[in-house]
C-alpha cells in the first residue's frame, strides 16, 4: 500500500457565506483523511479559499469594501467552518497568499516558455456566476447551459493551446479509466473532450482583481488557472524537488462537486501535461444537495447554515447525516426531519443504545468486571470478535473508491446484527441462572465489548467525538487498527449515553 495520500477539497469562492455544500465536501474529505491516517499513511489534507476573479470582486464591491479586506475577513469564516466541523486539514490555502501568487505565476511562465500561450482577442460570453467562458453555441435561451446569466466580453487576452491536448487527454483517460469517479463523470468528461476542445482564454483585462500575468501586468490571470494551481502550490511548486511534491502529488485525490468537473478533468490535466507534470491520480465528483426539494439559493433564502446545524445537533450528527443519507456521487436532499430521524434511529438507537445497554449492564451487575470463563461456542460470537479484522480490507477497498456511503453501510448492518445478538443473549436472564449460564453471559459480553471497540475505531473517521467517548468509556486508551479483535476493557467510571435522543417534530 502506498504510504502517502494527498486529499484536497475544492477551494471556496469568497462571494458569500459558507453553506452546506462547502461543509459536505470538507466532511467527506476529512473522513477520508482520518481513515488513511488510521491506516498509517502519511496524509496531507488541503482546503482553502478561492479569492480572486469577477465574482469575488463584485461581492466586495457590493459591500463597498476593497477586495483584500473583504477576503481577509470572509476567509476566516471558512477557517472557522473547519474548526466547528472537526476537520483535520493540514493546510488552509488562500489564493491571495504570496506562496500561491508565486506558484500561479511560475506555472504561467512555464506554459509560456513551452509555447503553450499566445496573445489573441476574445469575443464571446462570460458567466460571472460560473466564472466560465461560453461560445454562442453553448447558450440555451440566452443563458449559460448551467442557467446562469452571461455578459458579452470582447477583450485582448492570452489563450492556452487547449486544442493541442485533446488527443493526449483521450489517451490518458483510456489508460487511466479510474482517474475520474463516479463512472458517469468519467463518461461525461470523455464526451466533452470528444466534442472538440477550443483554445482557452486564460487572462482578463476588464477586471483587476487577480494574479498579474508575468511581464504583462495589464492582464490578470483567469481565475480558474490561478485557482487550480493551489493544489500544487501547497506541495511547494514551483520547486519540483520539494519532498512534499515528490511524495504526495502521485497520490493526489481531488474531491470536488459535479458542477466543476470540466475544470478539473479537462483544463487542469491539460495545464499539467503541458508543463510535464502528471495529471491528478483521481478526481472524485460528489453530488449536490437540495433543501427540502429546492435548489439552495441566496434569492430563495433557503440556505442552511452549517454553523447553525452544528450548534443545534453537534458536529458528529451533521457529519454522519451527510455521509449516510446518499452515496457520495449522488444528489441528496436535506431536511431537519431526515437528519433527526437518522440521528435517532441509527446513532442513538442502533449504535448508542447497544453501547449503553452492554456497558451499563456490566457496570451495574458485574461491577465493571468481565473476568471468568471465556468459551466461545456461538458462531455469532466469533463473528463479533473477528468482524473488525475481517471487514477492514473491505472497508479499505471502499475507501480506495471514495465510497464513504458503502463504508458506513457495512458498519451499520453489523451494528444491527450485534443488537440482535444482544437481545438473544439476554444477559439480564443469564445472570439469574447457574454458573454455566454466567459463563455464557461473560463470553457473550466480552464478544460485544470487542465488537464495540472495533466499531468505535472504524467509525472514528466519521463520528470522531462519539468514537472517542466510547473508547474512553471502555477505558482502552488510544486504540488503533492494530487493536482490532483484541479484548481491551478497563472502565474507570460508569458509562454515559453516547447520543441524547432528539425530539422529532410532528
Ligand atoms: N472556487 C471554485 C472551486 C475552485 S477549485 C480549484 C468553486 N467554489 S464554490 O464555492 O462555488 O464551490 C465549492 C464547492 O462546493 C464545489 O465543489 C461545489 O460543487 C460545492 N457545492 C456548492 N453548492 C453545493 C451544493 N448545493 N451541494 C453540494 N455541493 C455544492 O466552485
How many angstroms does the Cα of residue 202 sit away from the middle of ligand 1?
A: 21
* Angle, helix 354-366 to helix 435-459, in steps of 10 degrees: 140
How many angstroms does the Cα of residue 190 sit away from the middle of ligand 1?
A: 22
State pLDDT tens for residues 192-224: 999 999 999 999 999 999 999 999 999 999 999
Is residue 289 in contact with ligand 1, taking CB distance under 6 Å?
yes
How many angstroms does the Cα of residue 323 sit away from the middle of ligand 1?
A: 17
* Nearest in space to 55 (alpha carbons), one of 12, 91, 86, 1: 12
Show the cell assigned to 441: 453471559
Q: What is the mean pLDDT of residues 96-107?
A: 98
Shortest-distance Cα residue to atom 16 of ligand 1: 257
Show the cell assigned to 184: 458517469
How many angstroms does the Cα of residue 224 sit away from the middle of ligand 1?
A: 13
d(CA 22, CA 74): 14
- What was the pLDDT predicted at 295? 85
Model confidence at 111: pLDDT above 80: yes
Q: Which atom of ligand 1 is nearest to 259's Cα?
A: 19
Shortest-distance Cα residue to atom 17 of ligand 1: 257
Shortest-distance Cα residue to atom 21 of ligand 1: 21
CA atoms within 13 A on the CB side of 393: 3
Model confidence at 379: pLDDT above 60: yes
* Nearest in space to 131 (alpha carbons), one of 232, 263, 300, 295: 263
Q: Which atom of ligand 1 is nearest to 258's Cα?
A: 19
DSSP strands (E only) in 28-129: 42-50, 91-94, 117-127
> Which of 23-27, 162-166, 376-380, 410-414 shows the lowest mean pLDDT across its residues?
376-380
Is residue 9 in contact with ligand 1, taking CB distance under 6 Å?
no
Ligand 1 test: best mutation among 21, 227, 322, most atoms within 8 Å of CB? Answer: 21
Is residue 21 in contact with ligand 1, taking CB distance under 6 Å?
yes
CB of 336 closer than 8 Å to CB of 505:
yes
Whether the CA torsion 347, 353, 355, 360 is positive or negative: it is positive
Is residue 283 in contact with ligand 1, taking CB distance under 6 Å?
no
State pLDDT tens for residues 124-134: 999 999 999 99
Is residue 10 in contact with ligand 1, taking CB distance under 6 Å?
yes
Q: Which atom of ligand 1 is nearest to 227's Cα?
A: 6
Is residue 13 in contact with ligand 1, taking CB distance under 6 Å?
yes
Q: What is the mean pLDDT of residues 101-123?
A: 97
Is residue 257 in contact with ligand 1, taking CB distance under 6 Å?
yes
Q: pLDDT category, 349, cuts 50, 70, 90?
A: very high
Is residue 326 in contact with ligand 1, taking CB distance under 6 Å?
no
H or E element: which one contains 85?
none
State pLDDT tens for residues 173-193: 999 999 999 999 999 999 999
Is residue 25 in contact with ligand 1, taking CB distance under 6 Å?
yes
Look up residue 28 and give its DSSP letter: H
Is residue 296 in contact with ligand 1, taking CB distance under 6 Å?
yes
Show the cell assigned to 56: 469575488
How many angstroms does the Cα of residue 256 sit away from the middle of ligand 1?
A: 7
* Nearest in space to 353 (alpha carbons), one of 452, 244, 446: 452
State pLDDT tens for residues 294-341: 888 766 667 789 999 999 999 999 999 999 999 999 999 999 999 999
Share of the chain above pLDDT 70, in %: 98
Is residue 227 in contact with ligand 1, taking CB distance under 6 Å?
yes
Shortest-distance Cα residue to atom 10 of ligand 1: 12
How many angstroms does the Cα of residue 476 sit away from the middle of ligand 1?
A: 40
Ligand 1 test: best mutation among 229, 256, 260, most atoms within 8 Å of CB? Answer: 260
d(CA 464, CA 403): 18
How many angstroms does the Cα of residue 141 sit away from the middle of ligand 1?
A: 25
- What was the pLDDT predicted at 294? 86
- What was the pLDDT predicted at 2? 61
d(CA 225, CA 247): 23
DSSP strands (E only) in 182-311: 200-201, 203-204, 212-213, 216-221, 252-257, 282-286, 289-291, 294-295
The pTM of this model reads 0.97
- What was the pLDDT predicted at 503? 86
Is residue 260 in contact with ligand 1, taking CB distance under 6 Å?
yes
Is residue 306 in contact with ligand 1, taking CB distance under 6 Å?
no
How many angstroms does the Cα of residue 11 sit away from the middle of ligand 1?
A: 8
Is residue 354 in contact with ligand 1, taking CB distance under 6 Å?
no
Q: Which atom of ligand 1 is nearest to 15's Cα?
A: 10
- What was the pLDDT predicted at 1? 52
Q: pLDDT category, 374, cuts 50, 70, 90?
A: confident
Model confidence at 36: pLDDT above 70: yes
Domains annotated for the chain, with CATH where assigned, are 4-313 (3.40.50.620), 335-483 (1.10.730.10)
CB of 20 closer than 8 Å to CB of 57:
no
State pLDDT tens for residues 134-161: 999 999 999 999 999 999 999 999 999 9
How many angstroms does the Cα of residue 157 sit away from the middle of ligand 1?
A: 26
Amino acid at each position: 500500500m502506498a504510504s502517502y495520500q494527498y486529499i484536497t477539497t475544492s477551494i471556496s469562492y469568497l462571494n458569500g457565506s459558507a453553506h452546506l455544500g462547502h461543509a459536505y465536501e470538507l466532511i467527506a474529505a476529512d473522513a477520508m483523511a482520518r481513515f488513511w491516517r488510521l491506516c498509517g499513511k502519511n496524509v496531507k489534507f488541503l482546503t482553502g479559499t478561492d479569492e480572486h476573479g469577477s465574482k469575488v470582486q463584485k461581492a466586495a464591491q457590493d459591500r463597498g469594501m476593497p477586495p483584500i479586506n473583504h477576503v481577509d475577513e470572509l476567509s476566516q469564516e471558512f477557517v472557522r467552518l473547519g474548526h466547528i466541523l472537526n476537520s483535520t486539514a493540514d493546510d488552509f490555502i488562500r489564493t491571495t497568499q504570496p506562496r500561491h501568487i508565486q506558484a500561479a505565476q511560475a506555472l504561467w511562465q512555464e506554459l509560456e516558455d513551452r509555447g503553450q500561450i499566445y496573445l489573441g482577442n476574445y469575443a464571446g460570453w462570460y458567466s460571472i456566476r460560473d466564472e466560465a467562458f461560453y461560445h454562442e453555441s453553448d447558450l440555451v435561451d440566452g443563458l449559460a447551459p448551467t442557467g446562469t446569466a452571461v455578459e458579452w466580453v470582447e477583450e485582448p487576452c492570452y489563450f492556452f493551446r487547449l486544442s493541442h491536448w485533446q488527443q493526449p487527454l483521450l489517451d490518458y483517460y483510456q489508460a487511466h479509466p479510474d482517474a475520474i469517479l463516479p463512472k458517469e463523470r468519467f463518461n461525461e468528461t470523455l464526451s466533452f473532450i470528444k466534442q472538440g476542445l477550443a483554445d482557452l482564454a486564460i487572462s482578463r483585462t476588464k477586471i483587476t482583481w487577480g494574479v498579474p500575468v508575468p511581464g504583462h501586468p495589464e492582464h490578470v490571470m483567469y481565475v480558474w488557472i490561478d485557482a487550480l494551481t493551489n493544489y500544487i502550490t501547497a506541495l511547494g511548486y514551483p520547486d519540483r524537488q520539494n519532498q512534499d511534491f515528490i511524495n504526495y502529488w502521485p497520490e493526489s485525490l481531488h474531491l470536488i462537486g459535479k458542477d466543476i468537473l470540466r475544470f478539473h478533468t479537462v483544463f487542469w490535466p491539460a495545464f499539467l501535461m503541458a508543463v510535464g507534470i502528471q495529471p491528478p491520480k483521481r478526481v472524485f465528483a460528489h453530488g449536490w444537495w437540495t433543501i427540502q426539494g429546492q435548489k439552495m439559493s441566496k434569492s430563495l433564502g433557503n440556505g442552511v447554515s452549517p454553523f447553525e446545524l452544528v450548534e443545534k445537533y453537534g458536529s458528529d450528527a451533521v457529519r454522519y447525516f451527510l455521509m449516510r443519507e446518499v452515496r457520495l456521487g449522488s444528489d441528496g436532499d436535506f431536511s431537519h426531519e431526515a437528519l433527526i430521524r437518522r440521528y435517532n434511529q441509527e446513532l442513538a438507537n442502533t449504535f448508542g443504545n447497544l453501547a449503553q445497554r452492554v456497558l451499563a449492564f456490566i457496570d451495574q451487575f458485574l461491577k465493571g468486571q468481565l473476568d471468568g470463563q471465556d468459551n466461545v461456542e456461538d458462531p455469532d460470537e466469533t463473528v463479533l470478535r473477528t468482524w473488525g479484522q475481517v471487514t477492514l480490507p473491505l472497508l479499505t477497498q471502499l475507501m480506495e473508491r471514495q465510497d464513504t456511503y458503502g463504508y458506513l453501510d457495512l458498519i451499520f448492518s453489523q451494528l444491527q446484527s450485534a443488537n440482535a445478538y444482544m437481545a438473544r443473549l439476554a444477559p439480564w436472564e443469564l445472570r439469574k441462572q447457574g454458573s454455566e449460564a454466567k459463563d455464557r453471559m461473560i463470553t457473550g459480553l466480552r464478544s460485544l465489548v470487542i465488537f464495540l471497540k472495533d466499531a468505535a475505531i472504524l467509525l472514528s473517521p466519521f463520528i470522531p467525538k462519539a468514537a472517542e467517548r466510547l473508547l474512553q468509556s471502555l477505558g482502552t486508551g488510544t486504540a488503533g487498527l492494530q487493536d482490532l479483535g483484541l479484548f481491551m476493557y478497563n472502565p474507570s467510571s460508569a458509562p454515559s449515553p453516547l447520543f441524547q435522543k432528539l425530539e422529532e417534530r410532528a
